Amino acid sequence: MIDFKALTRPLSVDEIDFRVQSINKGGYATILAYKDARVDINRLNEVCTPLGWSRSHVNNNHNCIVSLWDADNKQWVSKEDTGTESNTEAAKGLASDSFKRACFNWGIGIELYDYPQISIKLLDNEVNMSGQKPKQTWSLRLKEWVWYSEFEGGKISFLAAKDQKGTIRFQWGMMGSKAAKEASSKFNSLYDNNSEPLVLWGYIEQFRGDDELSQYIYRNFPKGHKTKIAEILKQARNMFFCYKEIFEGDDDSAIEEAKGELSETEIKIIHAGMSARDNG
């Protein structure tokens, strides 16, 4: 049986290439996300084994047929598509393009069709605006950019890029939306069971020291929970020094410092944290 789930698993961002498709007169570049033939070959070898698939070209390389071996029915199953010539090495480019398109029919990289339009404002030194047509310069080092993606249900849900200097140049979607939904469900269950200390400890343990993630959690929880999350973040800040003492192993100092500064609930959280640490 062909493992279609593995075959159609979204390509990781490391398997995707990005190139400038066009630049408008306003200095915005449209970036194209694409796969090369090696990605398709690797996925077919991984899922079907090298002996479990084949490719053939017809019509002077315009069409490619990719066949997979169906072991259950003991027969080859084929899908075919047509490619277009590239600007360089027309014949080779045509064969490669028709192969990639046939693999799209099998679902390899099909999520690329759902990628957002990637429009990036170029820096002054990254584009030459002289002449009638804007052109990128050598300062636009797109190959050195770091891209990050997340998927839900096989569709892209978040895409971002940092340039070679670590500056975020593009961001689309909501980071970690799936994780936020799962955390929200868990939050509902624990909070409804009146387990505030353990809930608070869990969030502080997971997100301590990272304001961006804390704020992200705040943004992504359902509207009804935002007040509770705000309270959690406030308590986390108030208890920072107590936790510092705990992590350094000075429990007595932490509790002494907490007296008069924290509420009874927060004191419970401190104890819960100690217990979780000692039992973890």
- Higher-scoring residue by pLDDT: 255, 142: 142
Instruction: For 108, list phi and psi in degrees, rounded to 5.
Output: -80, 115
- Tokens representing 278 are 């000692």
CA distance 125 to 70: 54
Domain 4-173 indexed as CATH 3.30.390: yes
Q: What is the pLDDT of residue 130?
A: 76
Specify the long-range contacts of residues 128-136, CB closer than 8 Å, at least 24 apart. Answer: 129/25, 129/27, 134/23, 134/24, 134/25, 134/27, 135/23, 136/20, 136/23, 136/29
Q: What is the pLDDT of residue 70?
A: 93
Q: What is the pLDDT of residue 166?
A: 86
Mean pLDDT of 264-271: 64
Instruction: Give me the helices (H) in 106-166, please.
Output: none
How does pLDDT run across 217-257, given as a tens digit for each residue? 445 544 455 455 556 555 555 555 455 444 455 556 655 65
How does pLDDT run across 24-45, given as a tens digit for each residue? 999 999 999 999 999 999 999 9
Q: What is the pLDDT of residue 61?
A: 83
Q: What is the pLDDT of residue 234?
A: 55
- Higher-scoring residue by pLDDT: 224, 159: 159
Q: What is the pLDDT of residue 42?
A: 95
Q: What is the pLDDT of residue 84?
A: 85
* DSSP state letters, 217-280: HHHHS-GGGHHHHHHHHHHHHHTHHHHHHHHTT-HHHHHHHHTTTS-HHHHHHHHHHHHHHHH-
Q: Virtual CA dihedral for 47, 50, 55, 61, nearest 10 degrees?
A: 110
Q: What is the pLDDT of residue 209?
A: 47
Could you tell me the residue ranges of all domains in the chain? 4-173, 177-279
How does pLDDT run across 168-187, given as a tens digit for each residue? 899 888 766 555 555 455 54
Read off the pLDDT band of 197 (50, 70, 90): very low
